[in-house]
Amino acid sequence: MPDCVFCKLVSGEFPSYKLAETAHSFAFLDINTLSQGHCLVIPKKHHSQIYEVSKDELQDLAAVLHSLCGKIRQTFNPAGLNILQNNGRIAHQLVEHVHFHLIPKYETGQGLGIEWPAKQGAKEELQAVQGKLKLA
């Protein structure tokens, strides 16, 4: 994708603070950091949303995510860690290339702040949704 900033990072056209690279994945520090160790893991191939990513690519992304989570824990020992992946502008996706944020959370308040306006679901509604989404 010629205008995609993440594709330009993968190709080396733009510089990055690269952390890992595999056949399908690329990981780098986020330059707009929320906390020490905030990084991103992306597929090397351009995909706008998660629905387009192949199973093989997702498995590779998951392996890189797992390794970086361990490295963040070992190196910085954060109090917590958010893994964030958004799809579509309405879901707060700003760069239209699939990406996973790894955002360490520290006692100092560094990290991601989230509002979660949850409400208790009605039993009948939950059962109806379960029936539509159940895989097996």
Q: 81, 102 in Cβ contact below 8 A?
A: yes
Closest CA to 76 of 103, 49, 101, 98: 103
Set 38, 92, 99, 101: catalytic member: 99
According to DSSP, the residues that pair with 104 across neighbouring strands are: 81
Tell me whether residue 99 is one of the annotated catalytic residues. yes
Residues serving a catalytic function are 99
